[in-house]
Amino acid sequence: MSKVKKIPEEYTQDSFANLMFFGDYVNFGMQLDDLRDFLKEFQKYIEVTNHHLRTNRLTGYDEEQLGEMKERFEYSHGEILRNSIIISLYILIETELKGYCNNYCDYGNFKIRVSELKGDILSRFKVYCTKVIDLPFDFSSGLWEFIENLQELRNYLVHNNGELEGFNRQKTLRQFARSNSVITIDEDDILDITFNGCYQAMDEIDRFFVTISELAMQRFPGRHGLKKADEYKLPIKK
């Protein structure tokens, strides 16, 4: 059994757990905001620089350099930025889910830790929630499917070098492209992550963590809750 962290005298175990889950969501939200601001700022930088290149407003470069820069700012830089955002978002999901499950284990006095289960973090999280801590999150919801699809998109970017052909879960990504605006796949099988799709992914990830954080704070009553929970339609099983 895990050992509960030292709890200040003014807290009960439940109220301290409530504080920890609230604090973790706040920290998560700050990291998500940093990624959102980073995306906005560099998207703007790419757009402005691309405009200056196309209107010949940049000086100090020879014709060959300008030609190469035009190519990169029109095509490559935006793609690299969007791909990096998706990968960074998945790293954030992984890190936060591990911390969430460890907190639940510590303060709920559960004998099994999520690290003892097999599979990737989403598979382990689902098993941990359904078989160990009995979290009433709806794993049949569109929100969970969205999170799973982001994992497949990340795997595609990291393990398949951006090549859709030969990717063993390409059927999943094709369905993902048809169901939302995160990615597009053209007639030449070129997959592209859109800027709007990156923002949509951030919004859905936030809704996911609002849901599981609110569920934890309901399980461990205390002073804190999330006002955002009232704004979202949360996939919680009744």
CA angle 14, 16, 20 (to 5 degrees): 115
Q: Give the list of residues 6+ apart from residue 67 with CB closer than 8 angstroms, or none.
A: none
Q: Tell me if 141 is assigned to some domain.
A: yes
pLDDT in tens, 93-143: 999 999 999 999 999 999 999 999 999 999 999 999 999 999 999 999 999
What percentage of the chain reaches a pLDDT higher than 70?
A: 96
Which of these ranges, 8-22, 73-87, 158-172, has the smallest mean pLDDT?
158-172
Buried/exposed 129-151: b ≥16 CB within 10 Å, e otherwise: beebbebebebebebbebbbbbb
Residue 30 CA: distances (Å) to CA of 2, 23, 26:
29, 11, 6
Whether the pLDDT of residue 2 is over 90: the answer is: no
Q: What is the pLDDT of residue 5?
A: 66
Q: Tell me if 195 is assigned to some domain.
A: yes
Q: Give the list of residues 6+ apart from residue 199 with CB closer than 8 angstroms, or none.
A: 36, 39
Band the pLDDT of 238: cuts 50, 70, 90: low
Whether the pLDDT of residue 82 is over 50: the answer is: yes
Average pLDDT over residues 162-179: 86
Q: What is the pLDDT of residue 100?
A: 97
Record the tokens describing residue 55, joined without a space: 């209107």
Say how many domains are in the chain.
1
Whether the pLDDT of residue 1 is over 60: the answer is: no
Average pLDDT over residues 63-83: 89
Query: Where would I find the H helices in 131-226?
Result: 142-159, 170-179, 195-219
Q: Tell me if 219 is assigned to some domain.
A: yes
Q: What is the pLDDT of residue 88?
A: 97
Provide the 8-state DSSP code for 211. H
Q: Tell me if 17 is assigned to some domain.
A: yes
Band the pLDDT of 227: cuts 50, 70, 90: confident
Please state at what angle helix 77-108 crosses helix 13-54, rounded to 10 degrees: 180
pLDDT in tens, 14-53: 999 999 999 999 999 999 999 999 999 999 999 999 888 8
Q: Tell me if 47 is assigned to some domain.
A: yes
Q: Tell me if 39 is assigned to some domain.
A: yes
Q: Tell me if 5 is assigned to some domain.
A: no
Between CA 148 and CA 129 the distance in angstroms is 15
Q: What is the pLDDT of residue 3?
A: 53
Range of the domain at 184: 13-230
Other C-beta atoms within 10 Å of 117: how many?
A: 17
Q: What is the pLDDT of residue 164?
A: 82
The tally of CA atoms less than 13 A away on the side-chain side of residue 187 is 0
pLDDT in tens, 3-21: 556 788 888 999 999 999 9
Q: Tell me if 238 is assigned to some domain.
A: no
